[in-house]
Amino acid sequence: MRQGGLQEPVLEVTPADALIDQPRRIVVHGLRAGEHVTLTAQTTRGRGVVWASQAVFAADGDGTVDLGRDAPLSGSYAGVAPMGLLWSQCPLDVPSRELFHADTTEPLRTQLVAEAGGGEARAELVQRLAASGVTRQELREDGLVGTLYLPPGPGPHPAVMILNGSGGGINEPRAALYASHGYAALALAYFKAPGLSDYISNTPLEYFERGLRWMHARLRPAHGFVALSGQSRGGELVLLLGATFPELVSAVVGYVPGAVVHSAQNAADPAIGREGAAWLLGGKPLPHLWEHNRTATWAPYDEGPAPHRHERAILTALQDPDAVERARIAVERIRGPVMLLSGTDDGSWPSSLYSRMVAERLAAHGHPHEVAHLDFAAAGHAILFPYVPTTQMVYAHPVSGRISTTGGTPAANAAADEGSWSGVHAFLVRAVAAKAAAASSSTRRPA
């Protein structure tokens, strides 16, 4: 019993335990009409860091607060946002950008507390990356380094290869979530992982060809479907791989991609430098944007106001049309549908412009497959998937250590997270169906 003889408030989360990409309904009952209630959310994330948010609401005439209907009076976010208490979280005490546990099978558990009139209610919201029955196995074979997540059931399943950006490593969270939606998902590392280089410099494209062939041979994917999904440098890379090894790639998903080949940039081996090559093919470096560029300068990034925007330097390089053309990715060689996801306030590089360049080149060459482009207003470079914190835009690059901003605002980035994932999921369903139809048609064709 709380002040005035009122019953304790009741806090409900529906569903309480589900995959991370599933929205929840958060409601507080048992309040007085117009009564203020403070909602707090705390989650222990990677490396044991606690993240928190808080917002104050006023109950309606029935004594209810519904986060899907009501905007907070004050707090960590503004406006109606059913999952605002999650995406507006910030780390307490120590800086952090690690959103997930090292073990992706360990769910995120958010403790919610509603306080009003001396009483309180508590609830737990559980977010899982891996659905029941999803299995994980490490890949250390033929020089490949990665982690394979498989959906429950015998299969065969359509497959996706997931490639990280300039931070390197193995993107297990995204692979686990893809597997939870029915895809055999290989998160393949290419630097900053056991047995691999610490840098992106001089990465041979044949390494990824080997990975693609491994997936076709070992996974025997449904309809022979193997998609590529990559973000940032990985977004550049998946377009490049689709153009270089088109017979092995069924569809391409480019998160904040590049339309041109770039140098090693912030992930470079210091002994080579950021203007050295990132990608090799046949032992030779691919031509890149900074090479023989008459207008490129790092000054707007290096000397510009804090937080530094890498995108300002990239824009100087794009002013040399000859250099741009030499570095263009020949996306017209891709033999499947292409999805592009970008943010209009991308602080790392101009992903909106790059995505348009890719879409325009595909259209100019009469690309016979679907080309989808989702461009999120005011969003930055860090487009992930739904219902994770979006507040940490300024960061030290994990390779170079340079302090930069990915751009965007927390609310815009949260909208991009949600819209991008639903868009990608629908795109892949269409792409698999198209591949299945093509495979069926070829088997029915008379000899």
Higher pLDDT, 363 or 3: 363
Q: Is 80 exceeded by the pLDDT of residue 39?
A: yes
Determine the pLDDT at residue 3.
61
Distance CA 355, CA 256 (A): 8
User: What pLDDT is stored for residue 391 in this prediction?
Assistant: 97
Reply yes or no on whether the pLDDT at 445 is more than 80.
no
Compute the distance between CA of residue 374 and CA of residue 410 in angstroms, rounded to an integer.
18
| DSSP labels, 113-143 | EEEETTEEEEEEEEEESS-TT-EEEEEEETT
Question: Is pLDDT at 364 greater than 60 in this prediction?
Answer: yes
DSSP 322: H
Predicted confidence (pLDDT) per residue in 246-280, tens digit: 999 999 999 999 999 999 999 999 999 999 999 99
Q: Which DSSP string do the residues of 48-67 spell out, in sequence order?
A: G-EEEEEEEEE--TTS-EET
Q: Tell me, what's the pLDDT at 403?
A: 86
Give residue 446's pLDDT band: very low, low, confident or very high (50, 70, 90).
low
Question: What's the topology of domain 3-128?
Answer: Immunoglobulin-like (2.60.40)
Strands 251-255 and 226-231 come out as parallel
Across the range 441-445, mean pLDDT stands at 64
How much is the pLDDT for 138? 97
Fold agreement between 3-128 and 135-443: no
The domain ranges of the chain are: 3-128, 135-443
Say if residue 399's pLDDT is above 90.
Answer: no
**Could you report the per-residue pLDDT of 112-124, keeping only the tens digit for each?**
999 999 899 999 9
Lowest average pLDDT, out of 84-88, 296-300, 304-308, goes to 304-308
Question: Which one-letter amino acid corresponds to residue 432?
Answer: V
Q: Which fold has domain 135-443?
A: Rossmann fold (3.40.50)
Q: For residue 444, is pLDDT > 90?
A: no
Averaged confidence pLDDT in the chain: 95
Label residue 48 by pLDDT band (50, 70, 90).
very high
Report the 10 Å Cβ neighbour count for 222: 18
**pLDDT tens profile 344-361:** 999 999 999 999 999 999
Quick one: pLDDT at residue 395?
85
Residue 220 confidence (pLDDT) above 90: yes
For residue 48 the two structure tokens come to: 């044991």
Interior/surface letters 155-174, b for 16+ CB within 10 angstroms, e for the rest: eebbbbbbbbbbbbbbbbbb
Does pLDDT of 427 surpass 80? yes
435 burial type by CB count under 10 A (0-12 exposed, 13-18 middle, 19+ buried): buried
206-214 and 233-244 helices, crossing angle to 10°:
70
